[in-house]
Amino acid sequence: MVRTSATPAAAGLMVLFYCTKVVGRWADEADPKLAPARIAAERIVGELQAR
């Protein structure tokens, strides 16, 4: 079986899942990934809501 690449929506959900791990309940304010993850999460949620 040949595996195909993920659809853009599935890829967006995977990135969103990662972002929630960074910005979630136990987020460390000193983590340098925090600000970029928040920006990416806001962008992805906006894209998904626009569909």
Task: Give the mean pLDDT of the chain.
Answer: 84
DSSP string spanning 10-42?
HHHHHHHHHHHHHHSTT--TT-TTHHHHHHHHH
Q: What is the pTM of this model?
A: 0.71
* Residue of 9 and 18 predicted with greater confidence: 18
Query: Per-residue pLDDT for 30 more than 90?
Result: yes
* Residue of 10 and 19 predicted with greater confidence: 19
pLDDT category, 50, cuts 50, 70, 90? confident
Query: Per-residue pLDDT for 29 more than 60?
Result: yes
